[in-house]
Amino acid sequence: MPSSDKPAILQVIPALDAGGAERTTIDIARALSGRGFRALVATSGGRMVSLLESTGAELVPLPLNSKAPHTLLQNAHRLAKTIRRKQVNLIHARSRAPAWSGLLAARATHIPFVTTYHGIYNASNALKRLYNSVMVRSDAVVANSQWTADHIVREHRIAAERIAVIHRGVDLEEFDPAGVSPERIDRMRSAWDVPPGHTVVLLPGRLTRWKGQLLFIEALAQLEREHLLGDITALLVGDAQGRDQYVAEVRRAIARNGLQTTIKIVPHVEDMPAAYLVSDIVVSASIDPEAFGRVAAEAGAMGRAVIATDHGGAREVVLPERSGLLVRPGDPFALARALHRWVALDEKERAV
């Protein structure tokens, strides 16, 4: 039986592959373990499991990536057993499917239930709205930005006082420019085959339409048409996560605009601090609002300026004309102008 003098917090999340919610889960597990708590994470697995276990957290394998009603009920029963066996004091859900299981388990075991809204969910019909509502059926609701909190109030018609706005943090030990060796930077430049003297523009994010890769390609194509592109290497860094058709569309857009030697598609990168330092400019081109804007926060911690679309949580992270620029959403010409303006600055002027 675990020692009851150490409070236990159980986080539940569908999988640990890639993304802001997943990274936050691991960061919180590390912080809890470092402060004398027992950190547990229930998840279906994923490539970040080894990173989670390195924090000292305990993995609870469960098929929490399933939305099937019978599986949600089975997971609720399994979570309740875990709560009793591990003497869990609080359960924290970071996504809807595991939140339903977590809610039922918390009520069965009479422990507090907390949810964090990491993103904006589709609410196109009454059934979807019911499914989403689990995120506000908790004892406490956490929003990762004021923009997210405002959305929750509008969407679910709950009192703003029920919501705690906690902006996602950045681990300043991991994202510390002084902690990245020149060898790590050189290794990444070599792996990406970045020509000497090129300005490197980095767009991190899953390869999915709303992240704006096609918009970014169109902005670079506009600069090329105006003979303003110059010596640039642009990197699309992120997972496809099975979106093969979209990746093919991105490749066609690159080829159609003659940008095959300018734009590289790079799979998942483990060493993001080094990736940021390889870059000169970081772009977040999301065509739909980001709930927070993790890329902008991480890039800022690494001393890199950010060009982001002017909506969502990015407005709470990017300081225009200080830590970067905000551009009109969905406008490749505005993004092209911002890129040209920033590329024209010298190294001292670009410094954040």
Compute the distance between CA of residue 197 and CA of residue 215 in angstroms, rounded to an integer.
25
Q: Quickly tell me which residue has 């060493």 as its tokens.
A: 271
Q: What is the mean pLDDT of residues 338-346?
A: 86
What pLDDT band is residue 66 in, cutting at 50, 70 and 90?
very high
pLDDT at 47 over 90: no
Question: The tokens of 281 are what?
Answer: 């400019």
Is residue 309 a contact partner of residue 286, using CB atoms and an 8 Å limit?
Answer: yes
Q: What is the pLDDT of residue 352?
A: 55
HSE-up of residue 48 (Cα within 13 Å, Cβ side):
27
Residue 92 phi, psi (nearest 5): -125, 115
Q: What is the mean pLDDT of residues 151-177?
A: 91
Compute the distance between CA of residue 12 and CA of residue 96 in angstroms, rounded to an integer.
10
Q: CB 323: neighbour CB atoms within 10 A? A: 18
Compute the distance between CA of residue 310 and CA of residue 327 in angstroms, rounded to an integer.
5
Does domain 8-165 bear CATH number 3.40.50.2000?
yes
Torsion on CA atoms 194, 196, 202, 206, rounded to nearest 10 = 10
**pLDDT tens by residue, 211-269:** 999 999 999 999 999 999 989 999 999 888 778 899 999 999 999 999 999 999 998 78
Q: What percent of the chain has pLDDT over 70?
A: 97
Helix (H, G, I), strand (E, B) or coil at 349: helix
Start-end ranges of CATH 3.40.50.2000 in the chain? 8-165, 177-350
Compute the distance between CA of residue 299 and CA of residue 301 in angstroms, rounded to an integer.
5
The pTM for the full model equals 0.85
Q: Which of 92-101, 168-177, 338-347 has the lowest mean pLDDT?
A: 338-347
Burial class (CB in 10 A: 0-12, 13-18, 19+), 150: middle
What pLDDT band is residue 101 in, cutting at 50, 70 and 90?
very high
DSSP state of 180: S
Single-letter residue type at 21: A
Q: What is the pLDDT of residue 89?
A: 97
Q: What is the mean pLDDT of residues 119-142?
A: 89
Compute the distance between CA of residue 241 and CA of residue 208 in angstroms, rounded to an integer.
9
Q: What is the pLDDT of residue 323?
A: 86
pLDDT at 340 over 70: yes
DSSP state of 67: -
Q: What is the mean pLDDT of residues 273-292?
A: 94
Compute the distance between CA of residue 221 and CA of residue 256 in angstroms, rounded to an integer.
10
What is the domain class of 177-350 according to CATH? alpha beta
pLDDT at 119 over 90: no
What pLDDT band is residue 1 in, cutting at 50, 70 and 90?
very low
pLDDT at 142 over 60: yes
Q: What is the pLDDT of residue 169?
A: 84
